[in-house]
Chain A
Amino acid sequence: MKGFGLALTLIVYVFARKFYQRFSYPFFVPVLTSTVVIISVLFISQYSYEQYMKDVSPITELLGAAIVALGYPLFKQREVIKTHVVPILSGVIAGTWLGIESGRLLSKAFGIEELLVYSLLPKSVTMPVAMEIADEIGGIPSLAAVFVMVAGISCVAIGPYLLKWLRLHHPLEIGIGYGSAAHVLGTSKSLEFGEEAAAISSVSMTLCAINASFLAPVIIALFG
């Protein structure tokens, strides 16, 4: 059944979106619900994973165009970004450092082996850069990609409760938080809070990626 994967993904997405519009709880974000449903269907039907990935290649191919499209809110909100350069930079630097340090210290506390720790550290950075960083500091790139996904999904599912509880609801705070912690997934979440938050999130995501590429090897060299 060639093309089953593509049809499945499109249909599940349409329903997941409708479902989220009806029940807008953070846990029901379309990425998470569609992923759970699709994985379940693939398991139950014993449809091959390789074939699924082949089926959905048109969507995967368009992901590149989708990320390019994030430059549009960035352009429309360029004045807002210019005004807030200092808070954005401070948030991004704090976020990158916290991400690497908290990952390193928690792993140490739990006694995780180094190969795994090095794959986990760049989790908040956009996937291709995270894989590159993992490779650079001695981790496994494909494993790093999995942690990037875990970070992204958990952040958009749990994050909104935390931000609400701590009353962090300024577009600046939302954008920087999601962009620094959950890369592109966080940026697409920020879009729910408006164009301004999304633009700030795109900037934070990009700056975090650049910042982490420099910071991760330095922290590893200093503290191991």
Chain B
Amino acid sequence: MVKQAFCILAQIGVLYLHYFIGSLIQKGFDLPFSGSILGMLLFFALLTVWKPFERFVEKGANVILAHLPLFFTPATVGVMIYFDLFKGSGVLLVIITILSTLIVLVGSAYTTRLVHKARERARG
């Protein structure tokens, strides 16, 4: 049990290391991408080129993925300091944001469906 927990923590440490390296690359080259996204690409590349690596990160990754919403919560709580924005005419901005987001959701999903179906038909 203790050994298991230690193993998961160490694996999360390995994931964190990717984020750290990603951040260094981002700062070094002054890229418009976050260290975390670069870290993710690095992690993916490493898994692809070195197969046994999966064993060293599998448990940690699964634990963290099962609790993803926890890690976003502080960021969403951060919206509270902008409450004034949502008063008065600011409500319009929120409405536009929501409408536009739902248009993206449906539009991109629908485009995918059309292309996917057309390709399946072409293949017969």
Contacts and interface: CB of A to CB of B under 8 A. Distances in A.
A103 B80 contact: no
A170 B107 CA distance: 14
B1 interface: no
A219 interface: no
Given A68-B39, A146-B79, 7 more contacts: A52-B77, A53-B74, A102-B103, A110-B92, A123-B100, A126-B37, A163-B105
Contact of B33 (A52, A128, A202, A204): A128
Interface of B: 12, 15-16, 18-20, 22-23, 32-37, 39-44, 47-48, 54, 57-58, 60-62, 64-65, 67-82, 85, 92-94, 96-113, 115-116, 119
Nearest to B117: A87
Contacts of B100: 99, 102-103, 106, 123-124, 151
Contacts of A158: 98, 102
Contact of B61 (A72, A107, A181): A72
Contacts of A73: 65
A128 B34 contact: yes
B72 A185 contact: yes
Contacts of B113: 168, 170, 172-173
Most buried by A among B18, B37, B39, B115: B37
Q: Which 7 A-B pairs have the closest CB atoms?
A: A95-B108, A64-B19, A177-B109, A128-B34, A91-B112, A67-B36, A71-B43
A23 to B, nearest CB: 15
Nearest to A6: B74
Given A31-B69, A49-B80, A103-B100, A155 B18 contact: no
A148 B78 CA distance: 12
A67 B37 contact: yes
Contacts of A35: 73, 76-77, 79
Given A95-B104, A120-B97, A151-B98, A191 B68 contact: yes
Given A102-B99, A112-B92, A182-B105, A209 B37 contact: yes
Interface in A12-57: 12-13, 16-17, 29-32, 34-35, 38-39, 42, 49, 52-53, 56
A176 B70 CA distance: 23
Given A154-B101, A166-B106, A172-B116, A64 B39 contact: yes
B36 A64 contact: yes
A16 B16 CA distance: 26
Most buried by A among B41, B100, B107: B100
A31 B76 contact: yes
A14 B31 CA distance: 36
A202 B36 contact: no
B92 to A, nearest CB: 5
B36 A63 contact: yes
Interface string A198-221: 100010101001000100000000
Contact of A42 (B18, B67, B80): B80
A127 interface: yes
